[in-house]
A and B are shown apart, each in its own frame.
Chain A
Amino acid sequence: MLVLSPLILLALGALAPLFLGSRATAIRTVALGASVLALIASVIGIVYAPQHIDIPWLKSLGLSLSLHLDGLSMFLVALTALATVAVVAFSDETKRPGGYYSLILLMAATAIGTFLSTNLLVFYVFWELMIIPGYLLIGTYGQGANSRRAALKFLIYSLVPSAFLLVAIVALAVSAAPALGHLSFSLSQLASVRLPAATQDWIFLLFAASFMVKVPIWPLHAWMPDAYGESRPQVAAMLSGVLSKTGLYALIRFAFPLLPDAARLFAPALAVVALISILYGAWIALTHRDGRMVIAYSSLSHLGLVFLGVVALNALGLDGAVLQMLNHGIYAVALFLLFGVVEEAAGTRLLSKLGGIARKAALFSGFLWIAVLAALGLPGLNGFAGEFLLLLGIFHTSEVWAWIAIAAVVFSAAYFIRLFQLTAQGPTEPELRQPLRFGPLRIAAMVPFILLIFYLGWAPGQVTGRVAPVAQSITRQEASTALTVPVSNLSGEARGL
């Protein structure tokens, strides 16, 4: 039951507006309460993981409601809950509050569903359900003039690949059925079958394409600028902080263990795409005039690095990838929300029209500054720990990849410093339409992010220690000899440090 509780709490919270009519304050309070409870439940889940539930459903179709909470999923579940708390605290929808808050909670609940599922069909249901709140939040509750178009684009980019994903899932189960003796969609059962290489290849490509759209990875990111730009900052925070992780997660959880030979075959090609993502996103972030887009393209670049760590196919890279997924979620949500506060007050996102916020709001800029430093990977903060581990894992697999990828670190410093300077420092003083709204609730919602930025910077082992066993079992499954890190080599070196 512990496994399900964050999901159920969020789903219940999403239903609350049905009984509350259009009383905005009440709806928001309930949403906040539900997400705080979900956060508490997910933290308890971290303490008691691994947990597993398995409810048989349609035996003949091999369908059972299998949910699994382990080192790979538990931090992402907690991240989702934490992001939801902050997003609700930073929202103040009054016109149609019921729909807005339910959709936010539904988005979180479905994302948690994808993190927990270990049955491919159940996973697919959550994966598809996740699209609906995304579409409606971008379109109906959008901010820009073209929000409907952006939402449609998001929808197309989500639905087309997932139609193929379904094809791939069914094909996988059908192909494995003879070996298993029955039709099954269960991850653990399917993972025990090694499909012929040709079958693996095309199924893997469909898997990878659908998952990469969600991250997104170049060149499948064309929906991203519109969706992040036309929605409100809170929704962008949700998309970048949480939804992007479902794609990376699914790659680690499903694609690699199920299709190990294809994964190894396509890894170099995927690495090239990842490297392009890293540089492409960084380069655009370097000059973009729109502050929120700087954060958006920085995500393209940073998640490209995580993706590269994943396709490095070693335990170190996976360990770093999961850590950095959590870290990115933390600083990206903080950045989108905090920059959103500036947007709201100044009425513009153009960096040339912003500046000098530091003089008006010291605490606010302090928070923004910490989030920026975490994002640009300052040693001692969380972004660095993940980045270091990721690059180390990448380095193990290919020194060339690491050399190219590390260029992104210099870019990161340049564009994030630029973002901060043009927002908070400098001589220009924008005429604020309204004062910066950074009241007690928003401060309280941001404090956990700041604390985690410091805490995970100094104690990343709290995460990696729990991820490592899972990461090792995946890489062992994936490739028994060639590509795993010589772990024995790594564990003995403590004495010398």
Chain B
Amino acid sequence: MHSVIVLALLFPALGALLAAWIGPRLSHRLIAWICVGAVSLSFLVAVAAFVRLSGLPAAHRLIQDTLFTWNVAGGTPIHFTLLVDPISVLFMLVITGVGALIHLYSAGYMDDDEGFSRFFWQMNLFIVAMLLLVMAGNFFFLLVGWAGVGLASYFLIGFWYKRPAAVAAAKKAFVVNVVGDVALTLAIFLLFVNLGHVGYQTVFRQFSILPVATRDLVAALLFVAAAAKSAQFPLHIWLPDAMEGPTPVSALIHAATMVTAGVYLVARAFPIFGLAPSVATTIAWVGGFTALFAATIAIAQDDIKRVLAYSTVSQLGYMFMAVGTAAYAAGVFHFLTHAFFKALLFLAAGSVIHALGGEQDMWKMGGLRRTIPLTAATFLVGTLAISGIPPFAGFFSKDEILGGLLSGGQVGLWAIGTLAAGLTAFYMFRLYFVVFGGTARAPGHAHESPPVMTVPLVVLAVLSTVGGFLVLPGGYNLIESWLLPALTRFGPIPPLPPPTNWAAMAVSLAMALIGFGSAWALYGRKAPQVEPLHGPLHRLLKGKWYIDELGEWLIVRPALWLGSALERFDRKGLDVAFSRVGLLVAGWGESLRPTQSGYVRRYALGFALGVMLVVAFLSLRP
């Protein structure tokens, strides 16, 4: 008998199958019922698993279920085991909970798209793969989910496959993700070859027996995998382009869930990173750099979704700073609040885009707080949350990370994070003021979205408001007390950063207010018609530091050039070398034509000659 947790996977899998198989013949309403229902049921299973785990003694919070066994390598079975523990259950709750809300929203958003059923089966497929990723009980199974979400993401980025930009973005995302898959595969090889296991529990328990170099290599490979999935510099390049997908996809996959898989991996494999401190430090610094770097780009973008995409990259950087400094609870906490407010921001942006008939350039918007007030209000909540204004959720989780960094002595990282927090407030309020403040910059009248879209907005707005109260300054920390038993199961973990740091909190709040003030001064008060900032630095930021161009010129173009050069060589060079011999024989063959029997004769001759040669060789040998 399998545990009830299998159902969490089964419902969306069935939803995907149904929608794919008979979807084209069903009404949109029915498809929506099936697919939203499937994810909601999956959410109920996650809740049940959560309740079940909380009922267990803290040290035994673990549900395991072996689905089947993969027999490879001559009697070396790999068990496909599901594992639900305090870490994975939090991810499951977010994936299915936020997932269900976004599915509901999509029923309205995608209603007039001809690919409605395709959209829904692919979304459900994504939920299956993502749940597989977080519920996997070993690295091998993790890899299956890991690649599965990459595939679903590919499908959905390229959903509007008639658009060349969408097709190109999908391919870019897939290839960068495969780089991560390969790194993960290599890490698994190393574990398998050196330890003979790929199950989490055994690997974590035995990891310390490996030599330092191997430990670092495994950790570094896992980090490359995490960085590719979670868009950390320089592998972030695919995420902004991924905005070519429909907005609910951006909200679910490219903000709330899939891109946090890297954070999940680092948090999940924390015993490995605990034993590879140099790699962990690198993770924190790459995260810090990415947080600041992406925030500077977000300042100068004009596309409403691109601003949000770079803000996602930046916020993921915060999570990596946290998990890189062993503040796993803080990282997971920020994942949680970020899932709420970033899904909210994307869905509200989608509501704006929907209201304006597909417009995404913020400089063609304006004054929308009067025409679509509910969307404006929820977007404002999201903006306040991500900017770190109390009492909204982002304030608490960001402060948990920054305070931990300062108390832990990571002054450099703390300064970077605080600076990025100021920039975050600036670019988010810039976006809010330009889109919703002032007056309309383009003709046309916007209409508020239907309730099927606004209800999820309101729910997420409430969660973005109260979600931070799970952790309060002064030592009250539900997340940590929930995760700690799971974190200590494999032996002692590095000392957790000390509790709340009031100085860090005051400084980051001040930075957020400075960011807000500057945005108000530049974009709010006078409501300019065009971007008031210009100059070379602005161009550099608008051009995204030209990283894409750099990659294009340093990697893509030389690779393609080498490809065609090799092809020419293959056609001409190599061929000529061999044809010299070939033509000789061919000429001989031609002379033996016109009858086919010429070949037979030549063949017989060759045969006889060969045999004679052997006999001669063997008899002449000493």
Contacts and interface: CB of A to CB of B under 8 A. Distances in A.
Interface of A: 152-153, 155-157, 159-160, 163-164, 166-167, 170-171, 174-175, 219, 222, 225, 280, 283-288, 315-316, 319-320, 356, 358, 373, 378-380, 384-385, 388-389, 391-392, 395-396, 402-403, 406-407, 409-410, 413-414, 417-418, 421, 425-427, 458-462, 464-465, 467-469, 471-472, 487, 489-497
Nearest to B605: A163
Given A156-B585, A171-B618, 13 more contacts: A155-B599, A163-B610, A222-B578, A284-B563, A284-B566, A316-B73, A391-B185, A417-B175, A426-B162, A464-B72, A497-B138, A497-B140, A497-B199
Given A413-B175, A426-B161, A493-B197, A391 B74 contact: no
B562 interface: yes
Contacts of A358: 161
Contacts of A166: 607, 610-611
A219 B73 contact: no
Contact of B571 (A225, A462, A467, A469): A225
B143 interface: yes
Contacts of A459: 70-71
Interface in B142-197: 143-144, 146-148, 151, 154, 158, 161-164, 167, 170-171, 174-175, 178-179, 181-182, 185-186, 189, 192-193, 196-197
B373 to A, nearest CB: 38
A410 B179 contact: yes
Contacts of B589: 152, 155-156
Interface of B: 69-79, 81, 138, 140, 143-144, 146-148, 151, 154, 158, 161-164, 167, 170-171, 174-175, 178-179, 181-182, 185-186, 189, 192-193, 196-199, 201-203, 559-560, 562-564, 566-567, 570-571, 574-575, 578-579, 582, 585-586, 589, 599, 603, 606-607, 609-611, 613-615, 617-618
A497 B79 contact: yes
Contacts of A493: 76, 196-197
6 contacts: A159-B603, A379-B181, A380-B144, A413-B178, A464-B74, A497-B198
A490 B73 contact: yes
A28 B616 CA distance: 49
Contact of B575 (A222, A315, A396): A222
A219 B581 CA distance: 14
Contacts of B579: 222
Given A378-B151, A406-B182, A494-B79, A425 B158 contact: yes
Contacts of A496: 196-197, 199, 201-203
A356 B162 CA distance: 8
Interface of B is mostly: helix
A62 B71 CA distance: 41
Contact of B196 (A388, A421, A489): A489
Nearest to A492: B196
A392 B70 contact: no
A496 B194 CA distance: 14
Contacts of B162: 356, 426-427
Given A156-B582, A358-B161, A417-B175, A392 B193 contact: yes
Contact of B151 (A152, A156, A373): A373
Contacts of A406: 182, 185-186
Contacts of A471: 74
Nearest to B206: A496
A387 to B, nearest CB: 9
Contacts of B70: 458-461
A468 B73 contact: yes
Nearest to A288: B567
B175 A410 contact: yes
A497 B139 CA distance: 9
A315 B74 contact: yes
Nearest to B202: A496
Given A421-B167, A497-B79, A287 B564 contact: yes
B611 A389 contact: no
Tell me if A's interface is mostly helix, strand, loop or mixed: helix
A222 B574 contact: yes
- Ranked nearest first, the 10 interchain pairs of A and B with the lowest CB-CB distance are A461-B71, A468-B74, A496-B202, A287-B563, A496-B197, A413-B178, A493-B196, A425-B161, A497-B199, A379-B147
B614 A167 contact: yes
B204 to A, nearest CB: 11
Given A170-B614, A174-B614, A391-B189, A284 B199 contact: no
B570 A388 contact: no
A487 B73 CA distance: 9
A487 to B, nearest CB: 7
Contacts of A384: 147
Given A491-B75, A496-B199, A284 B578 contact: no
A284 B570 contact: yes
A283 B186 contact: no
A182 B571 CA distance: 49
B607 A286 contact: no
Nearest to B563: A287
Contacts of A427: 162-164
Contact of B74 (A174, A285, A396, A465): A465
Contact of A286 (B171, B563, B611): B563
A185 B161 CA distance: 59
Contacts of A458: 70
B82 to A, nearest CB: 13
A175 B164 CA distance: 65
A464 B178 contact: no
B582 A153 contact: yes
A496 B202 CA distance: 6
A377 to B, nearest CB: 9
Nearest to B612: A167
A378 B147 contact: yes
Nearest to B20: A366
B201 A395 contact: no
A490 B196 CA distance: 6
Contacts of B609: 163
A337 to B, nearest CB: 24
B281 to A, nearest CB: 25
Contact of B193 (A152, A280, A395, A465): A395
Contacts of B192: 392
B256 to A, nearest CB: 23
Contact of B71 (A155, A356, A465, A487): A465
B235 to A, nearest CB: 12
Nearest to B158: A425
Contact of A403 (B163, B186, B586): B186
B196 A280 contact: no
A409 B178 contact: yes
A171 B619 CA distance: 11
B189 A392 contact: yes
Contacts of A410: 175, 178-179, 182
A401 B564 CA distance: 25
A159 B581 CA distance: 13
Contacts of A489: 196
Contacts of A421: 158, 167, 170-171
A497 B79 CA distance: 6
